[in-house]
Chain A
């Protein structure tokens, strides 16, 4: 049986096709990720982007639409996925996906383009509590993105630069718009780019950490969402949360789509 999970984020659409496979002697059903596909909506409308991302994933996996038993959608734009059977919240999908990948994880930190949140989960991957930013972009990827633009660094260079610094410069501005001016004035005062990059990522991490603390940091921590690709942020988050290890999936932005596909498979039965 194949199911699909579609995560309609504010910046990108993630699709995971999941196949349930039978393993001899196993009690629990086993799953194989057939295909993951990411697409930036760019100039596409949300529903068009979802269609296109889904079709691309199907084509790459060599699966026809009829073979997909159920499609579940998550993310801020989940209501716009016309062909989805059902929608689940980002918290539900994120927790499910994270615990599937790391059964020992109990705290899920999800940092995407426009949202950051901390989720507390049980051993079944069921979200029991969460706290997030909804009003302000300061604890999310677009904050880091705006600052990397001001520093004229690619997101990759930005993360790597931050790792080269051991300075702790406090950022006074919390607002993304104001922080951009602050970064520019740091540039003008000849502060090395590495130090500014670290200051920015420390600031995002401390905001995210404050949200996670509201639900409590418990057990193993897993980081999901696109910001997981930024090694500087991962380091800053570790420091801010004062934990030795943050579990990091190879494709952190797909974890919620994966969780969504898993929930779809479980609900079919």
Chain B
């Protein structure tokens, strides 16, 4: 038995390789105190929660952290994480919009908006008004969304019945291989020959299959490549059901995994529109932008 099989099959010490690092960012060139309207979007997802601050319709800062076992606390902590760093208080924020599966549990939100609408709006900001097809790959669901040049949703499809093609599947592989999730993508390209995709759709079966591949002599990187390919094929079949229009953009945690993204692009034959913004905040960003639009409408009355 080789060392990699031993490592994967032995009961390891309880270490979670699947978690993304929490992070905070804000635009240091600006001062939020100069803004007329400050809005906030909070996306309480199944795995991570994001709070985004928008000053006068421009992204100012965000904080991304793990969702705990309590949605109101996760929402509060996510926002507190950025407010503390920039010396902001809840009273300074004009409008708060909640989104994500825990959106109704954001206690200080003025409004809740579905994550589908928010992701489209966020993608429109991040990728520009050319964005028409959005793939949102979250922790426990996967959505294909069509939108117009304003970021308004025109159609969507989602897979929320089965964990195949969602971030959860990648997390399982990350733990199985004992490799931090952020390293999976780059490592998936470190193979001599691109392997066949893992054939199982179900995450439970895919895990067994991945173990069997290790036993059959595959390197960890090769197994990861086979899984990334399987995931790409899975989400592309979802995308094909709704149809892919030019102006393609990927949001959600899995968008940070180039191992999946590059393979999706290859299968589709189109590249996604580029952005410098963290794809994981798309939903919260969209929510904050909706808040800004609502404030503007109120001011106009």
Complex formed: what's the CA distance from A60 to B1 in Å? 27
Structural contact, A136 and B6, CB atoms closer than 8 A? no
Stretch from B148-156, B201-209, B259-267, B290-298 that touches the partner: B201-209
Say how far B174's CB is from chain A's closest CB, in angstroms: 14
Beta-carbon nearest neighbor of B69 in chain A = A188
Give the size category of A's interface with B. 20 to 34
Complex formed: what's the CA distance from A142 to B172 in Å? 15
* Residues in chain A near residue B172, CB distance under 8 A: 177
Structural contact, A42 and B9, CB atoms closer than 8 A? yes
Contacting residue for B204 out of A42, A45, A46, A137, CB 8 A: A137
Q: Does A33 belong to the interface (CB within 8 Å)?
A: no
Structural contact, A137 and B202, CB atoms closer than 8 A? yes
Contacting residue for A181 out of B46, B201, B202, B205, CB 8 A: B46
* Residues in chain B near residue A42, CB distance under 8 A: 9
Beta-carbon nearest neighbor of A172 in chain B = B161
Q: Tell me the residues in window 165-195 of chain A with beta carbons closer than 8 Å to chain B beta carbons.
A: 174-178, 181, 188
Structural contact, A45 and B140, CB atoms closer than 8 A? no
Complex formed: what's the CA distance from A178 to B10 in Å? 25
* Residues in chain A near residue B168, CB distance under 8 A: 177
Complex formed: what's the CA distance from A10 to B202 in Å? 15
Structural contact, B162 and A136, CB atoms closer than 8 A? yes
Q: Does A27 belong to the interface (CB within 8 Å)?
A: no
Say how far B73's CB is from chain A's closest CB, in angstroms: 13
Q: Does B19 belong to the interface (CB within 8 Å)?
A: no
Complex formed: what's the CA distance from A142 to B201 in Å? 15
* Residues in chain B near residue A247, CB distance under 8 A: none
Beta-carbon nearest neighbor of B215 in chain A = A45
Complex formed: what's the CA distance from A176 to B208 in Å? 14
Q: Does B163 belong to the interface (CB within 8 Å)?
A: yes
Complex formed: what's the CA distance from A176 to B162 in Å? 8
The contact string, 1 if C-beta is below 8 Å from chain A, for chain B 132-157, is 00000000100000000000000000
Q: Does B5 belong to the interface (CB within 8 Å)?
A: yes
Given contacts A45-B215, A136-B162, contact A176 B204 (CB under 8 A): yes
Beta-carbon nearest neighbor of A43 in chain B = B9
Q: Tell me the residues in window 168-209 of chain B with beta carbons closer than 8 Å to chain A beta carbons.
A: 168-169, 172, 200-205, 208
Beta-carbon nearest neighbor of A42 in chain B = B9
The contact string, 1 if C-beta is below 8 Å from chain A, for chain B 41-73, is 000001000000000000000000000010000
Complex formed: what's the CA distance from A175 to B204 in Å? 9
Given contacts A42-B9, A174-B162, A177-B163, contact A10 B208 (CB under 8 A): yes
Give the size category of B's interface with A. 20 to 34
Complex formed: what's the CA distance from A136 to B200 in Å? 9
Structural contact, A175 and B163, CB atoms closer than 8 A? yes
Structural contact, A177 and B161, CB atoms closer than 8 A? no
Contacting residue for A43 out of B10, B163, B200, B202, CB 8 A: B10
* Residues in chain B near residue A177, CB distance under 8 A: 140, 163, 168-169, 172, 203-204
Q: Does A153 belong to the interface (CB within 8 Å)?
A: no
Structural contact, A136 and B201, CB atoms closer than 8 A? yes
Structural contact, A176 and B202, CB atoms closer than 8 A? yes
Q: Does A146 belong to the interface (CB within 8 Å)?
A: yes
* Residues in chain B near residue A45, CB distance under 8 A: 1, 215
The contact string, 1 if C-beta is below 8 Å from chain A, for chain B 202-235, is 1111001000100100000000000000000000
Complex formed: what's the CA distance from A177 to B201 in Å? 13
* Residues in chain B near residue A176, CB distance under 8 A: 163, 202-204
Structural contact, A175 and B161, CB atoms closer than 8 A? yes
Q: Tell me the residues in window 128-150 of chain A with beta carbons closer than 8 Å to chain B beta carbons.
A: 135-137, 142-143, 146
Q: Does A19 belong to the interface (CB within 8 Å)?
A: no
Complex formed: what's the CA distance from A260 to B97 in Å? 62
Complex formed: what's the CA distance from A176 to B9 in Å? 21
Complex formed: what's the CA distance from A90 to B107 in Å? 54
Say how far B166's CB is from chain A's closest CB, in angstroms: 8
* Residues in chain B near residue A137, CB distance under 8 A: 202, 204-205
Beta-carbon nearest neighbor of A10 in chain B = B208
Q: Does A253 belong to the interface (CB within 8 Å)?
A: no
* Residues in chain A near residue B5, CB distance under 8 A: 43
Q: Does A114 belong to the interface (CB within 8 Å)?
A: yes
The contact string, 1 if C-beta is below 8 Å from chain A, for chain B 1-21, is 100011001100000000000
Complex formed: what's the CA distance from A211 to B6 in Å? 37
Structural contact, A174 and B161, CB atoms closer than 8 A? yes
Structural contact, A178 and B140, CB atoms closer than 8 A? yes
Complex formed: what's the CA distance from A44 to B208 in Å? 14
Complex formed: what's the CA distance from A137 to B202 in Å? 7
* Residues in chain A near residue B140, CB distance under 8 A: 177-178, 181
Structural contact, B205 and A175, CB atoms closer than 8 A? no
**What is the interface of chain A, defined by CB distance below 8 A to chain B?**
10, 42-46, 114, 135-137, 142-143, 146, 174-178, 181, 188
A-B contact pairs, 11 of them (CB 8 A): A42-B9, A44-B1, A135-B202, A137-B205, A142-B204, A175-B161, A175-B162, A177-B169, A177-B203, A181-B140, A188-B69
**What is the interface of chain B, defined by CB distance below 8 A to chain A?**
1, 5-6, 9-10, 46, 69, 140, 161-163, 168-169, 172, 200-205, 208, 212, 215
Nearest 5 A/B pairs, CB to CB: A177-B163, A137-B204, A43-B9, A175-B162, A136-B202
Q: A135-B201, A136-B201 are in contact. List 4 more A-B contacts (CB 8 A).
A: A43-B9, A136-B162, A142-B204, A176-B204
